[in-house]
Amino acid sequence: MIRETAQIRNTVQGTMEDTAQDTVLLPDGTSMPRFGMGTWHLAEGRRPQSQELNALRAGLDAGITLIDTAEMYADGKAESLVGRAIKNHDRSRLFLVSKVYPHNAGRRHLRQSLEASLSRLGTDYLDMYLLHWRGSIPLSETVECMEQAKSDGLIRNWGVSNFDTADMQELFATDGGDACAVNQDLYHLGSRGVEYDLLPWMDAHRMPMMAYCPLAQAGTLRSGLTSSPVVRSIAAAHDADPIQILLAFVLRRDDMIAIPCTGSAEHLRSNLRARSITFSDDEITALDRAFPAPTEKEPLDMQ
């Protein structure tokens, strides 16, 4: 773990300034943006949709091309919102990710789900299609359907979400399962369990992780996170706020894609600024002391 932390520190120095173009390499040699916009809880009527549309458009205008959504979010309305936001943007420059419900991830329904997502998004392909979490449909059947959708040009790549190390091993033991391009899991400063054996496994397979809840849902997922004196003093030193420190912590790893969600253009701009925060070795040590990396296997954290 010490070796890994040192390696991360060495590799991230100087990369955060390269903001909108910052990418990771996928196992098939194509690249994927390292910073995107999440969409869970958008289009649920929590605020005027014009505000949420403005936030997504502010991100697109700032050069953010990755958007993460799912058929589940607001029963498809989040995908429709994204479709409105990207309408006048060059599709070839975007990286759209959506997810299929586990109960739809088989021969009976996957194609129908995928086509409905494409229609709501107003596009004819996804850059990445994820199995949202494991269900009862055999992995072999999901892999077969994903590969068929790829052959048919409806998706460029596919991946999984909420898979722990044993799930990944089982997937890779499944015929064609090693074509999986990403795994999307919960990861933030207050929940570092994936650092124990999942991230090392994924690194060994050159597979990036998509970190969901990188802001710990504005700090609410763990008490004492945004009020931590360590987080607050590091924030002050960078003329930042604690939420930006949470985001910078996730982005410090160059094998990590972060997809913070906001329906506020102001928050969006604040999140963009977090990409230029680089921690000193002392700051990393202080964060590690306050919110230690795991020393044993922990159950996969999920939302």
Q: Are 160 and 183 in contact (CB under 8 A)?
A: yes
Q: Minimum Å distance from CB 125 to ligand NAP?
A: 19
Asked if 263 is part of the footprint of ligand NAP (rule: CB under 6 A), the reply reads yes
List the one residue from 184, 240, 250, 251 that touches ligand NAP (CB under 6 A): 184
Residues whose CB falls within 8 Å of the CB of residue 187, separated by 6 or more in sequence, listed in order: 194, 209, 211, 212, 213, 214, 250, 256
Footprint on residues 46-65 left by ligand NAP (CB under 6 A) = none
Q: Minimum Å distance from CB 137 to ligand NAP?
A: 17
Q: Compare residues 4 and 22 and give the one whose CB is closer to ligand NAP.
A: 22
Asked if 39 is part of the footprint of ligand NAP (rule: CB under 6 A), the reply reads yes
Q: Minimum Å distance from CB 166 to ligand NAP?
A: 18
List the one residue from 83, 159, 193, 214 that touches ligand NAP (CB under 6 A): 214
Q: Residue 286 is which amino acid? A: A
Asked if 161 is part of the footprint of ligand NAP (rule: CB under 6 A), the reply reads yes
* Annotation says 187 is catalytic: no
Q: Compare residues 68 and 164 and give the one whose CB is closer to ligand NAP.
A: 68
Q: Minimum Å distance from CB 244 to ligand NAP?
A: 7
Closest by CA position to 83, among listed 47, 113, 40, 53:
53
List the one residue from 59, 65, 262, 272 that touches ligand NAP (CB under 6 A): 262
Q: Minimum Å distance from CB 54 to ligand NAP?
A: 12
Residue 246 to residue 261: CA distance in whole angstroms: 13
Asked if 264 is part of the footprint of ligand NAP (rule: CB under 6 A), the reply reads yes
Asked if 271 is part of the footprint of ligand NAP (rule: CB under 6 A), the reply reads yes
73, 129, 187, 212: which is the annotated catalytic residue?
Answer: 73
List the one residue from 129, 212, 249, 279 that touches ligand NAP (CB under 6 A): 212
Beta bridge partners of 100: 131
In this chain, which stretch among 15-23, 166-174, 258-266, 293-301 interacts with ligand NAP, using CB under 6 A? 258-266
Residue numbers annotated as active site = 73
Q: Tell me which residues touch ligand NAP (CB under 6 A).
A: 38-40, 68, 132, 161-162, 184, 212-218, 243, 259-264, 267, 270-271, 303
Residue list for the binding site for substrate? 132
